């Protein structure tokens, strides 16, 4: 009997391992490529020469009389621990939009027009349904932003990620006319600060949000929260607003001097990134409505106003700097596009900082 078992073990060892037995199913990954290509095709524009399928993408830059000195602007970001909510709920259809938003919203702050987007998905074990939800979200985000999804990488890495978990990262590339890059040098005291509303938390501060809401307050993701008007999961998975089209239309009519994407660090850390050293921002807290998710987090976790300011966007996802005489018309234009926006403050002389009143 013992000899028979030993012979079986030797036979199994002599047969040799396969990559699939080690945890990576190459055939399963290849079977998804066709579907990825179908989703990406919806986003392809005339600039794309080669997209999904090759070893790299080829994208033609606008040239000729349209641009005299084109400059490439690139950005990369991920979704962060917001993914933890997707893992628990099994809902993966919106985090792809978040991934696109976090990248393209950064790129437009330089004054560039985003052209194309690539993604990276790292998983422990390939789950067709899950990965397709992710890519469908990425394609939807690219459609909203008006960029092409030209490729990506899905890496199956057993032992690195737990079952049902993954990481999602994106890369966006845009182009700008060099003379039209946004610069702090054009800013003056009295310039207006226009705040474009966020859809909620966006993709920042989720470590604190989860600690306050789920651990400290013991709220359940499936529970309907009256003040939110939806379940907690619905609110936390609400996708990040993509500001590309709103800003493009604004730049066609008005002279923007600066743009700040309000991400981790809140207004107090992100707005100074686009200001000159001799100007500070003075903001009126009462000038914009704060979505109810933010006071809920503050109450649930006993989070101080100062901590809320340096962690969350608190209702403002993008801030535009422009001459005060253009602000009223700009606000009207944004609202006509369906983008809520508010005059939230102005610039004044002083060391670069943010002051709330």
Helices 128-145 and 244-253 cross at an angle (nearest 10°) of 10
Read off the tokens for 307.
């901590």
What was the pLDDT predicted at 27?
Answer: 64
Backbone angles phi, psi at 348, to 5 degrees: -145, 165
Residues 6+ apart with CB under 8 A from 88: 221
What was the pLDDT predicted at 301?
Answer: 97
Residues 6+ apart with CB under 8 A from 294: 308, 312, 314, 315
What was the pLDDT predicted at 50?
Answer: 64
Residue in the structure block whose two tokens are 């000159």: 276
202 pLDDT more than 80? yes
* Displacement of CA 287 from its chain's centroid (Å): 25
- Domain map of the chain by residue range? 22-180, 184-356
271 pLDDT more than 70? yes
What was the pLDDT predicted at 89?
Answer: 97
| 168 within 8 A of 123, measured Cβ to Cβ | no
Report the pLDDT averaged over residues 155-178.
93
104 pLDDT more than 60? yes
| 191 within 8 A of 322, measured Cβ to Cβ | yes
What was the pLDDT predicted at 16?
Answer: 74
State the pLDDT confidence band at 74, using cuts at 50, 70 and 90: very high
Lowest mean pLDDT among 16-25, 166-175, 241-250, 305-314: 16-25
Q: How many other C-beta atoms lie within 10 A of the C-beta of residue 91?
A: 15
What was the pLDDT predicted at 24?
Answer: 57
Q: Over 88-142, what HEC string results?
A: HHCCCCCHHHHHHHHHHHHHHHHCCEEEEEEEEEEECCCCHHHHHHHHHHHHHHH
* Displacement of CA 31 from its chain's centroid (Å): 28
CATH fold, domain 184-356, is Phosphoribosyl-aminoimidazole Synthetase; Chain A, domain 2 (3.90.650)
What was the pLDDT predicted at 144?
Answer: 97
Lowest mean pLDDT among 9-23, 134-148, 273-287, 320-334: 9-23
Helices 128-145 and 26-41 cross at an angle (nearest 10°) of 20
Q: Over 31-93, what HEC string results?
A: HHHHHHHHHHHCCCCCCEEECECECCCEECCCCHHHCCCEEEEEEEEECHHHHHHHHHHCCCC
What was the pLDDT predicted at 324?
Answer: 98
What was the pLDDT predicted at 228?
Answer: 97
What was the pLDDT predicted at 264?
Answer: 93
CATH fold, domain 22-180, is 60s Ribosomal Protein L30; Chain: A; (3.30.1330)
Report the pLDDT averaged over residues 117-141.
94
- Phi/psi class of residue 298: alpha, beta or left (left: φ > 0; alpha: ψ in -120 to 50)? alpha
- ∠ CA 160-162-167, nearest 5°, is 70
What was the pLDDT predicted at 67?
Answer: 74
Cα 92 to Cα 88, 95, 279: the distances in Å are: 10, 6, 42
- Which residue from 164, 78, 91 is spatially nearest to 123, judged by alpha carbons? 164
pTM of the model: 0.89
């Amino acid at each position: 009997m013992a000899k028979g078992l030993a012979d079986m073990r030797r036979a199994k060892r002599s047969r040799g391992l396969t990559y699939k037995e080690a945890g990576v199913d190459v055939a399963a990954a290849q079977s998804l490529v066709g579907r990825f290509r179908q989703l990406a095709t919806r986003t392809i524009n005339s600039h794309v020469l080669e997209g999904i399928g090759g070893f790299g993408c080829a994208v033609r830059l606008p040239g000729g009389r349209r641009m005299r000195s084109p400059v490439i602007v690139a950005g990369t970001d991920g979704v962060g621990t917001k993914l933890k909510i997707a893992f628990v709920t099994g809902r993966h259809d919106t985090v792809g939009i978040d991934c696109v938003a976090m990248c393209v919203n950064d790129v437009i702050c330089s004054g560039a027009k985003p052209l194309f987007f690539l993604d990276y998905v790292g998983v422990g074990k390939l789950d067709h349904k899950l990965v397709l939800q992710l890519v469908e979200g990425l394609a939807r985000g690219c459609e909203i932003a008006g960029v092409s999804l030209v490729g990506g990488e899905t890496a199956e890495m057993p032992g690195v990620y737990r079952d049902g978990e993954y990481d999602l990262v994106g890369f966006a590339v845009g182009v700008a006319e060099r003379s039209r890059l946004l610069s702090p040098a054009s800013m003056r005291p009295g310039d207006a600060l226009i705040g474009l509303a966020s859809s909620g938390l966006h993709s920042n501060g989720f470590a604190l949000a989860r600690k306050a809401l789920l651990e400290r307050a013991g709220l359940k993701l499936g529970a309907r929260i009256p003040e939110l008007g939806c379940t907690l999961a619905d609110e936390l998975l609400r996708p990040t607003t993509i500001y590309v089209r709103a800003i493009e239309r604004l730049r066609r009519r008005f002279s923007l001097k600066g743009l700040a994407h309000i991400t981790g660090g809140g207004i107090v850390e992100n707005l100074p990134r686009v200001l000159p050293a001799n100007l500070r921002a003075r903001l009126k807290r009462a000038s914009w409505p704060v979505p109810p998710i933010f006071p809920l987090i503050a109450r649930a976790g006993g989070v101080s106003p100062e901590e809320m300011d340096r962690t969350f966007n608190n209702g403002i996802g993008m801030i535009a700097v422009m001459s005060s005489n253009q602000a009223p018309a700009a606000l009207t234009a944004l609202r006509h596009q369906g983008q809520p926006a508010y005059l939230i403050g102005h610039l004044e002389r002083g060391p670069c900082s943010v002051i709330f009143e």
